[in-house]
Structure 1
Amino acid sequence: MRIFKWLLALPIAAFILFNAYVYGNIITYRAVAPHQTAFMSMRMSQFAEEGRDITLDYRWTDYRSISTNLKKALIASEDAKFAEHSGFDWNGIQNAIKRNEKSGKVKAGGSTISQQLAKNLFLNDSRSYIRKAEEAAITAMMEAVTDKDRIFELYLNVIEWDYGVFGAEAAAQKFYKKSAEKLSKQQAAALAARVPAPLFYADNPKSQRLRGKTNIILRRMGSAELPDGG
């Protein structure tokens, strides 16, 4: 009986300790840039296991030094209600659940920018309802103690855009040989279009889907609403 109690208590203790660790880091990230995210570490380990010689390119840049074009493109592409919701798009989640039920797999997540950031900072690329539950808990903690500008700044700096390329500055330099501050509307839309499947588009740079998504984002950028800080 005692062994059974210990076996039951261990996962609960692990859950509590992990979330305490996460909360402490969320507080730190309100003022300090992450050295490296869990998703970056996972991805670089994956490349190493596959025998790929990939170097991590992650360059932190200030929120004000990132083009408004890119901010609007990502809002238009990833989370149109980012400025007004508290971390979750409930309509998007309901639609994702319906799509998952039809397919019989966890494919769509209805993830907001805040949820994507939670995954990138602390989790991995696995798809399960347990991982989504942990992602939701982290998102709620982050939204409770971090303002929208900082959440968006963190997101802009840790998104994956290519093999080993993370963040707006590294992506701008990789694709356009310029700073993230200088991105045009077309360039910003093209970068935003890559976000849902960056490695696929890295392998298929002439994809018709990429061009189509870029044009859709361009049309939506005009109505994209940024957080109060702009």
Structure 2
Amino acid sequence: MNICPKCGLRYPYSLKNCLECGTRLVNNKDEATKKRALGLVRKIGIISLMGGSLFCAFLVIVPLLHLSMVAGQDFSTIVNTIQSPPGPPVPEFKLNQTVRSADLEVTVVRTREGNNVLNANRFFFITVSLHNLRQDAPIQASGSDFILTDGDGHTYYTYGLGNSIAQDLPPLASQSYELEYEIPRNAAGLVLAVYFPRATQDSATGPPALFAVS
């Protein structure tokens, strides 16, 4: 039977249009065949895509495995080396060691442990001293310019720079601020990355200075 896709009425194959609304009738068997064909095409496409991905992986992984066996190195080490080529070592500075850019001078003065909190974390405080080297313009330093990381690579952000999210440092002015972080109680190997803002723009640019704070 032919079916009207609009009304749902059934008619003999000899009729091509619905007697109620005039819509062209659809052959039920043809529609089912088309749906089955479309489903088959989709399955073939998915299988082909998966096969292509496996083939590409085979071309990459097998040579790396061979290189691993020949060189006597761990496979994961080779993969990580290829994905993350080593860069130049970044120097780490200590407490009370001053680092400067063209516009700003930063010194990590001291650190102190804070109270434990209920979620197995603890507070950690870092006092930094900032000195604006510019004579003609203020510098805006933001809490987002001071990012703390631990030895496991976890990142922590301060609640603010002193009692504010950002601070304006007048020309040739010096000021100390305390940074407050919430970190796990067992966090170790803490390093503070300081990104230097500039007088000409609020956002920090360039590589950070790293301070070992624990």
TM-score for the superposition, normalised by structure 2: 0.22
Larger relative contact order (C-alpha < 8 A, sep ≥ 6)?
1
Q: Return the structure number with greater strand share.
A: 2
TM-score for the superposition, normalised by structure 1: 0.21
Instruction: State the structure with more CA Rg.
Output: 2
Q: Return the structure number with greater helix share.
A: 1
